[in-house]
Amino acid sequence: MPELPEVETIVRGLNQKVVGLKIADAWTDWSKTIKTHMPAKFRREIRGRKILRAHRRAKYIMMDLSGGKTLIIHQKISGHLLYGKWMVSGKKVEPAMGGPIKSDPYNRFIRFILYLNNGYMLGLSDVRRFGKVFLGDTDKIENINEIGRLGPEPLSPKFTLAKFKELMRRKRGVTKKVLMDPFVIAGIGNIYSDEILWYAEVAPTRRVEKLTDKELAAIYKYIKFVLKKAIGAKGDSLQDYRTLEGKFGNYQNMQKAYQLTGEKCQKRDGGIIKRLVIGGRSAHFCPVHQK
Ligand SMILES: [Zn+2]
């Protein structure tokens, strides 16, 4: 599932490619994608609106539109937004350009399209069809879905060590699960919780209430470090995620723990990365240096 770095990469791409353009129309073959409107009403509401800016809250992509509306896209498990050209006939969508939009099979499951006034489109490729689109009033964004209840943004300057410690001291439970809880901290999922804990030298199974001040400080430091590193790499494309142009991100080549079961720990401490299932999600860690 795309996490904060992948969503941030898409948002930066949107700010480069589509700000200032107008939405000419919309299409979907899967009416459940649009949560706030029936498709016909959605098309009427969205046509002619100008894209003013793109931003992000947790894993939600937000595009502020003219007329006080905001379009929100949550890519969920396998969705990723693409900038390209397609031909639609009935329920069939074919790429109308070369490159990764056409050649990469992960970019070929287009379920939702926004037509732009420069001839290009934004297409949501989503093999599992869990991606969601919301349209609401910009000034009431917090009322949409769970947005108002989300935890703080980990890369915000307001997310200080003191704030992080205060949040952790209020929680009980397994550290990996607490880090992945969007109502505690926004945007960290399975990939980056494994990576953060590998760097912080803390086992994912540790109880958060038993972590020392030093361990909390290390986790805090590596939350910022790993998320920034992954944004710099344009995200992790081990699975479905691609950039807005349909290209691979690069973090999958930098992974230290996630999905590396059976491989030697890159700290060369003799450890072999182990996989454990915690609350239905798998954790990957080095049993030698992660205590
Ligand atoms: Zn190790």
pLDDT tens digits, 254-286: 999 999 999 999 999 999 999 999 888 899 999
Q: Of how many residues is the chain composed?
A: 291
CA separation for the pair 142, 222 (Å, rounded): 29
Q: Which among 22, 165, 224, 281 is annotated as catalytic?
A: 281
43 phi and psi angles, rounded to 5 deg: -60, -45
Q: What is the mean pLDDT of residues 92-117?
A: 94
The tokens for 142 are 């917090």
What's the predicted TM-score (pTM) here? 0.95
Please give the pLDDT value at position 267: 97
Phi and psi at 24, nearest 5°, equal -90, -35
Average pLDDT of the segment spanning 164-175: 96
Catalytic site includes residue 2: yes
59 among known catalytic residues: yes
Predicted pLDDT at 78: 81
What pLDDT, in 10s, does the model give residues 110-122?
Answer: 999 999 999 999 9
**CATH architecture, domain defined by 161-285:** Orthogonal Bundle (1.10)
How far is Cα 88 from Cα 14, in angstroms, rounded to an integer?
Answer: 22
Rounded to whole angstroms, the Cα distance separating 89 from 256 reads 44
**Domain spans, the chain:** 4-149, 161-285
How far does the centroid of ligand 1 lie from the alpha carbon of residue 250, in Å?
A: 22
Under the banding of pLDDT at 50, 70 and 90, the label for residue 91 is confident
| Rounded Cα gap, residues 87 and 291, in angstroms | 54
- Residue 190 Cα, ligand 1 centroid: separation in angstroms? 19
Tokens representing 227 are 């998320």
Does residue 244 surpass a pLDDT of 90? yes
Residue whose pair of structure tokens reads 């999958």 in the numeric block: 252
For this structure, is 100 an active site residue? no
Higher pLDDT, 168 or 30: 168
pLDDT at 79: 86
Catalytic hit among 17, 59, 129, 177: 59
- pLDDT, tens only, 194-227: 999 999 999 999 999 999 999 999 999 999 999 9
Q: What mean pLDDT do residues 69-75 have?
A: 94
Structure tokens at 179: 């880090």
**Dihedral, 232, 134, 132, 237 alpha carbons, nearest 10:** -10
The helix/strand/coil state of 200 is helix
Query: How far apart are the CA of 270 and the centre of ligand 1, in A?
Result: 7
**CA 239 distance to own-chain centroid:** 12
Confidence label for 5 from pLDDT (cuts 50, 70 and 90) = very high
Q: List residues bridging with 83 in a β-sheet.
A: 122
Q: What is the CATH number of domain 4-149?
A: 3.20.190.10
Q: With bands split at pLDDT 50, 70 and 90, how would you rate the model's confidence at 42?
A: very high
Q: How confident is the model at residue 169 (pLDDT cuts 50, 70, 90)?
A: very high
Band (pLDDT 50/70/90 cuts) for residue 101 is very high
> Residue 215 has which token pair?
């361990």
Task: Say whether 56 is catalytic.
Answer: no
Give the Å distance between the CA of 278 and the centre of ligand 1: 20
Structure confidence at residue 90 (pLDDT): 82
